[in-house]
Amino acid sequence: MEWYHDWNVEYINHKEEHDLGALELSECLACEICHPIEREVPTVFKKFWDALFKFEDTILIYNDVTLKGLLNLLSMDNREREDTIHKGKCRDIVDRIIESIRYRQQPKMKEKG
């Protein structure tokens, strides 16, 4: 995944901003400090995470952006999901989910489009 290197550098820089006590932080969807999970994680999400790990074992940590993203996908009706899977609402949500996950190393799965 070509985006991984840039994304990882942005995450490291963002964490340094936290460490330095910066008042205005850059946006980072993967930051567990900025996006803590403040509710019980639903079973459906735990099943999603376990299934995802079977395909992409480099995943490490999720946060509230990941959780909300999956719940938003599940709340869409099938037609809307199908109509926007490649461009639009569904694709935007999936992109946010991918960016919100912390990885141990560069993901093994390749981008398709």
Question: What is the mean predicted confidence (pLDDT) over 56-79?
Answer: 96
Task: Identify the pLDDT of residue 52.
Answer: 96
Of the candidates 68, 70, 56, 29, which has an alpha carbon nearest to the alpha carbon of residue 111?
Answer: 56
What's the chain's length in residues?
A: 113
pLDDT for 41: 98
**How many CB atoms within 10 Å of residue 62?**
23
Look at the pTM and tell me if it is higher than 0.85: yes
Whether 112 has a pLDDT exceeding 80, the answer reads no
pLDDT at residue 25, as a whole number = 87
Inform me whether the pLDDT recorded for 69 exceeds 70: yes
pLDDT tens digits, one per residue of 10-20:
999 999 999 99
Residue 8, pLDDT above cutoff 60: yes
